[in-house]
Amino acid sequence: MFFPFLLPGWWLLLPAVAFVMYSQWKVKSTYQRYARMPSTYRLSGAQVARRLLDDQGLHEVAVQPIAGALTDRYDPAKKTLGLSQGVYDGASVAAVGIVAHEIGHALQDARGYSPMKIRSSLVPAANFGSMLGPWLIMAGLFVNAFHGLLGIGVVVFAAAVLFQLVTLPVELDASRRALALLTASGFVDRTELSQTRKVLSAAALTYVAAAAVAVMQLLQFGLLLSGGGRSRN
C-alpha cells in the first residue's frame, strides 16, 4: 500500500525502501551467478534435499517442486519442502545452498526451535495486521467519526512488525544450520561452502530490509498517533 508516502513522515521510509531495492537486486544477482556454477557432485536440488533429510532422520518430510523462482519454502504444517523448479532440478552451488537453508527450517521444526514456534503463532495476527492495520489508520486519520481507529490500527499493524522482527533470527538460524549441514555432509568443498555462504547472506538481506521497512512504517504511524504532523479534516 502506497498511502504512507502521502502522509507526514514519509521520508522515514526512503532509506528502508532503498535498502529493499538493493537487497532484491543482490539476492537475484547472487543467485543467478552461482546458479551457473555446478556443484561438485552434480546432484539435483531434489536429490540433495532427500539425502540431507534422510541423514537427519526427517524421512516424513516430502520434497516437491513448486511454481515460481526463488519461491522455495518449508511448510511445517504439511511437512513438505517446496523447491522452485530451478532449485528442484538444478545441480548448482546456489541450488544446494537454498535446499540446505530450507532443510534448516525443517530441523527447526523437528527440534522445537522456539522462535519458529513464536513466528508460526504470529501468522494470523500478522496477516490481519498487515492487511487491516493500514486501512484502520487511514480511516482514523481522515474521517473524524473514526478518530479512535488510528490507535487501534497502529496496535494491529504492530503485530505485523513483530512478525518481521521474529523472522530475522529464524532465517539466520536456518542459514547457520544449512552451512553446518553442508560442512558435515561433504556435498560442497571449501570453495563452494564460501560461495554458498554468499548466497545465504544475500538472501538474509531481504529479511533485514523487510523488517526495516516495517519498523520505519510503524514509527511513522506512531508519530502520527502522538500528534506529530497528523492530517485531519
Residues recognised as catalytic: 102
Secondary structure of 196-229 as H, E, C letters: HHHHHHHHHHHHHHHHHHHHHHHHHHHHHHCCCC
Looking up cell 552434480 gives 42
Say if residues 211 and 172 touch (Cβ distance below 8 Å). Answer: no
Which residues pair with residue 178 across a beta bridge?
none
Nearest in space to 54 (alpha carbons), one of 1, 6, 110: 110
Nearest in space to 167 (alpha carbons), one of 130, 134, 123: 123
